[in-house]
Structure 1
Amino acid sequence: MTIQVLTVCSGNICRSPMAEQLLRARLSDDDKLAFSSAGTVALSGAPMDERAAQLATEHGSVDAEQQIARELSLEMVRDADLILAMARDHRRAIVEALPRAVRKTFTIREFARIVSSLNVDELTLAMEQAGTDASARFEAAIQLAAGERGMFPSDEPSDDDVVDPYRRDDATYRTSTDQLIPAVNATAEFLGRVLKADSEH
């Protein structure tokens, strides 16, 4: 069974496609994961923003030119095993659309902060207790992260957001990317650890 990771922003032409592409690039060796993205107010059918695509390519994307924006649907939210929003308003919109998605929906910077602080032994135990099914073990890891959400608050609520660079200056695009890259790297490291532990089970 393929584990579905969905990234979400507003227009689906800057932040969420960059996150999707860079996570895919960093975890390209594992066929258990599938990455996709969508926008809450997507510019459906539009290609990726040119400056965002250039920055994504600089940081490891190999498929920025293939990106096509699409509108977030309830079906996407239901089907995803992990949803990484680019900002708190996207997370809020997702949970309002499907309240039970709260346990698998984070902003990407929030998720990175939480999983970077998780106890490795607790993570291993949670996965072992979930049994042998790969999707159940992945869900257990995500639920452990959700349960720790209040334990690792950000200094400022806005620290959970990746700033929207769309139609802004080059410096804002760089700032947005600089906020996103560490979160992508921490998320990729965590997902890789979870899948490695699963393959060794």
Structure 2
Amino acid sequence: MLLPKASEPETSDGSPSVPIRILTVCTGNICRSPVAERLLQTGLNQVQPGAFEVRSAGTRAMAGDPIQPLSQDIITSYGGTPDGFAARQLTPEILRQADLVLAMSAQHRGEVIHLDASLLKRTFTIREFARMLEALEDRGIPAPAGDTAAFWRDLPARAAAVRHLAQAAEPADNDVVDPYRRGPEIYRQMEDELSPAIRTILRFARQRG
């Protein structure tokens, strides 16, 4: 289950800080990006309650729809909850709030940047971003010095700087397969492609939490 939302974290001077806002993006916002949203939120709540806000949206969202049943099963199997979800359409307004955008495919990344070119260095596919974090770990990136929010808001630029060290063997290795209207085996493939990236992001957060 998701942990209850903690009170808003504070800065060193005692004033409230704005959560680090992570946005996950796919097409319909009912299969892939909700799984990433709910599992990242669950894990990040355990690292630092209240410090992160993870949401999702779709480039051609089935607005108002719940998460697809097989995606719901994946979420619950990892300890998250699909409750209270409704798909929503990606908009420039939503993007303006994001500190980090994690797309489910290179096509989605391109659509995000088409909507807001200023997000070029804050938008990655989720599998690509996970490889970048591993490259940063190999370089010995230090833990944040008491300011988690500033660390995570600087993180996309640091990740972009090691893109050349995190190239995929094949372009398809950047994408998470779309299982919509397909069988359980494709949902399993989606899980196999998505869950290692989520684990990498959460491990990185725990080690620097």
Tell me if TM exceeds 0.5: yes
- Name the counterpart of 1:80: 98
- Name the counterpart of 1:165: 179
Shift of the alpha carbon at 1:81?
Answer: 0.6
* Partners of 1:11 and 1:39 within 8 A in 2: yes
- Name the counterpart of 1:199: none
- Name the counterpart of 2:28: 11
Match of 1:38 among 40, 57, 76: 57
Q: Secondary structure at the match of 2:141?
A: helix
- Name the counterpart of 2:10: none
TM-score with structure 2 setting the length: 0.85
* Partners of 1:123 and 1:144 within 8 A in 2: no
- Name the counterpart of 1:60: 79
* Unaligned 5+ runs, structure 2: 1-17
- Measured in 2, the distance between the counterparts of 1:122 and 1:100 equals 28
1:136-158 deviation digits (Å, cap 9, x = unpaired): 32222221111111221000000
- Per residue, is there more helix in 1 or in 2? 1
Identical aligned pairs, as a percentage? 38
- Measured in 2, the distance between the counterparts of 1:52 and 1:122 equals 35
- Measured in 2, the distance between the counterparts of 1:89 and 1:107 equals 9
* Partners of 2:51 and 2:149 within 8 A in 1: no
Q: CA RMSD in A?
A: 1.7
1:70-126 deviation digits (Å, cap 9, x = unpaired): 00111111110111001110000001111110111100000011101214665228x
- Measured in 1, the distance between the counterparts of 2:187 and 2:114 equals 29
TM-score with structure 1 setting the length: 0.88
Change (3 A) 1:80 1:166: same
Q: Secondary structure at the match of 1:5?
A: strand
Matches of residues 140-179 of structure 1 in structure 2 within 5 Å?
A: 140-179=154-193
* Partners of 1:3 and 1:32 within 8 A in 2: yes
